[in-house]
């Protein structure tokens, strides 16, 4: 990572990456190869990052769910990561890659790759200040007092590559990590695959938060129009076990397909849960596959209350609580959703970036790849996207300034 004055360079270069695996999920490398490579890398570095990796579903739905339990040398905050996918290899790869992204994130920024400084002391290629304050309730216009407090706070300034401008900007890492949490983290086979996944994660959270706060009807999807054989097989696995399932178009104005899904098991309800989640991908039917496997990851076959902790979307106690989502018009074909897919992942990144630019967003990519693992990992930041559900959506800059001041005070103590 080269430096020039106050500015570090990310050295991010995005290249053409044709997809080598497209069945179920789009990947640059077949999932079985991913699993082999990651496990070999873990052995090579001689750190016990994983204790074990287990398949935890009972087989009732036939949709695999894996859990990767962290080893003694893995300092991630949670003791396990979970993986989803339509096949065992895809689910296992997902669990391993989630551990890679979390381990890379918790050990970033690293010595020699950032500048510890206050905004008032920074110069050069720094992200314009209005981007720091683009929260849903505060669109980039901080008050004088807020700006003075922010300018004096120390941050770790790291290079972030703008997908819009094709250049680096220095950004305050902890500020955006505090706002987005783990949303936007991703690890993958190639940098391009990883960036694409991170983009989809942030879009998924953004539309989920908006739909949750706006509480307006959205189009229901006619699942009889599904043509992808993997998606169709997943649907049959739900319906064949009597699971009630409804899927909706959550894409909103993003130009990127997101599908919301609500599911529950009538045979065990109300002693089981109503699961509500979303999935984003570049193609509508890939988004459907993502949300169906996400439902299974949350429900783990039985929709049991001890499994499903809920997420960004509300945890309904009854199906009827979701009535505000139902559009009285006829269901729409899945082909009516936006489609930004391509055979090449670089083209998909460009398509997603253009779609987000049209609604005023600038995606930024921070390369957090761990030097020991050498497995591509990124943190995708999109200032201004919504992050939280309706109990916290009113938080403004003062809240995050307070959190930063408390953190610095705790460190001094």
pLDDT at 391: 44
d(CA 371, CA 380): 19
Q: Read out DSSP for 270-284?
A: TSSPPEEEEEE-SSH
Domain boundaries, the chain: 115-186+349-412, 217-336
Place of tokens 């496997």: 293
Contact 155, 171 (CB under 8 A): no
CATH label, 217-336, candidates 3.40.50.2300, 3.40.50.300, 1.10.3720.10, 3.30.160.660: 3.30.160.660
Token pair, residue 142, equals 């901080």
Q: CA triplet 80, 182, 175: central angle to 5 degrees?
A: 140
The one-digit pLDDT tens for each residue of the chain (413 residues) are 555 555 688 989 999 999 999 999 999 999 999 999 999 999 999 899 999 999 999 999 999 999 999 999 999 999 999 999 999 999 999 999 999 999 999 999 998 889 999 999 998 899 988 888 886 555 556 678 888 888 999 999 999 999 999 999 999 999 999 888 899 999 999 999 999 999 999 999 999 999 988 889 999 999 999 999 999 999 999 999 999 999 999 999 999 999 999 999 999 888 888 999 999 999 999 999 999 999 999 888 777 755 555 567 888 888 888 999 988 889 999 999 999 999 999 999 999 999 999 999 999 999 999 999 999 999 999 998 987 654 445 556 777 788 778 777 666 54
Query: Distances in Å between the alpha carbon of 184 and those of 81, 129, 202, 214, 329?
Result: 16, 21, 5, 23, 34
d(CA 216, CA 24): 31
By CB atoms closer than 10 A (0-12, 13-18, 19+), residue 322 is middle
């Amino acid at each position: 990572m080269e430096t020039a004055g106050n500015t570090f360079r990310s050295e991010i270069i995005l290249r053409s990456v044709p997809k080598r695996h497209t069945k179920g999920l789009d990947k640059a490398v077949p999932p079985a190869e991913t699993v082999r490579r990651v496990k070999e890398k873990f052995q090579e570095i001689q750190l016990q990052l994983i204790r074990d990796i287990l398949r935890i579903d009972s087989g009732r739905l036939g949709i695999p769910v894996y859990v990767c339990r962290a080893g003694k040398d893995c300092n991630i905050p949670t003791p396990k990561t979970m993986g989803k996918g339509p096949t065992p290899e895809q689910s296992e790869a997902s669990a391993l890659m989630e551990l890679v992204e979390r381990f890379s994130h918790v050990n970033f920024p690293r010595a020699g790759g950032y500048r510890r400084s206050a905004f008032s002391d920074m110069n050069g290629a720094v992200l314009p200040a209005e981007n720091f304050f683009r929260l849903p309730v505060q669109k980039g216009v901080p008050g004088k007092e807020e700006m003075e407090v922010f300018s004096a706070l120390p941050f770790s300034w790291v290079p972030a590559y703008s997908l819009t401008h094709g250049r680096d900007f220095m950004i305050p890492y902890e500020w955006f990590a505090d706002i987005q949490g783990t949303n936007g983290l991703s690890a993958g086979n190639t940098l391009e695959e990883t960036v694409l996944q991170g983009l989809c994660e942030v879009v998924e959270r953004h539309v989920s938060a908006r739909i949750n706060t706006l509480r307006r009807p959205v189009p229901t999807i006619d699942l009889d129009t599904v043509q992808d054989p993997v998606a169709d097989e997943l649907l049959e696995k739900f319906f064949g076990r009597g699971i009630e399932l409804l899927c909706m178009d959550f894409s909103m104005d993003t130009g990127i397909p997101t599908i919301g899904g609500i599911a529950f098991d009538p045979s065990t309800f109300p002693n089981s849960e109503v699961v509500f989640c979303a999935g984003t991908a570049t193609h509508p039917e890939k988004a459907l596959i993502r949300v169906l496997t996400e439902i299974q990851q949350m429900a783990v076959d039985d929709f049991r209350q001890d499994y499903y902790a809920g997420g960004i979307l509300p945890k309904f106690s009854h199906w009827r609580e979701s009535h505000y989502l139902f559009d009285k018009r006829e269901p729409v074909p899945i082909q009516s959703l936006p489609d930004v897919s391509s055979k090449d992942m670089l083209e998909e990144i460009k398509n997603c970036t253009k779609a987000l630019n049209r609604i005023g967003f600038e995606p930024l990519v921070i390369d957090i790849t761990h030097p020991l693992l050498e497995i591509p990992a990124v943190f995708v930041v999109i200032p201004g996207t919504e992050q939280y559900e309706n109990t916290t959506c009113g938080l403004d800059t003062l809240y995050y300034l307070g959190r930063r001041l408390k953190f610095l005070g705790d460190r001094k103590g």
